[in-house]
Amino acid sequence: MIIQHYMDSGDHRQIVETGRIYGKRDANVWRDILSFYASMNSESTPECEAYIIQSLSHISKHQTLSPMVVVNILSKNKRITLAVIRNFLIAHCKETASVTAEAEEETNTINKDTSELQDRVTSLETQGMEFKNTRDHLFDTQPLDLPSMHFMSGHSYNLENLTEMDDGSREWCVC
């Protein structure tokens, strides 16, 4: 693979650039890059911190590796400190908090809607529904005459305005 050539030559800019180009399609590219930096000798590590940070920025932006994988790989080199991956972890925590907040908001909305529907069902089961419509909902200029049909949606129609099905039942597509 082309990235191995850059790793062998120590061309850190090209390593990160190759990750940027191919890392979107294959997360293993970033795993290889981080493993390369984690396996470096201790003296070279501080010089490469900026490239590790750039790599983490691309990983975070495209969410190609989980933070746990990143920490597990980079923890193999004792010279790579938490300060190097701090911003990556903070960005991940903020994103997780944002997604969690959105999910909680959606859950609250769903719970509210469910509660309202349960109240409506209880009301219909215990009190029934009173229809006070005086006009046909299909032709609002037409008065509601007998025979008429009332739907639970609250719509009322003159029987002659409803479609008769093959089995003799009547329905209206709006309801």
- pLDDT surpasses 90 at 174: no
Angle at which helices 49-62 and 82-127 cross, to 10°: 20
Which H/E stretch holds residue 90?
A: helix 82-127
**pLDDT, tens digit, for every residue of 109-132?**
999 999 999 998 898 888 877 777
Tokens, residue 56: 């983490």
Band (35; pLDDT cuts 50, 70, 90):
very high
pLDDT of residue 97: 97
Query: Domain extents for the chain?
Result: 2-101, 130-175
- 121 or 170, greater pLDDT: 121
CB-neighbour burial class of residue 84 (10 A; exposed 0-12, middle 13-18, buried 19+): buried
Distances (CA, A) of 58 to 2, 73, 129, 142: 19, 16, 59, 66
**Sign of the alpha-carbon dihedral angle for 131, 133, 138, 142:** positive
Tokens, residue 95: 């994103």
CB 172 within 8 A of CB 153: no
Q: Phi then psi for 5, rounded to 5 degrees?
A: -60, -45
Mean pLDDT of the chain: 86
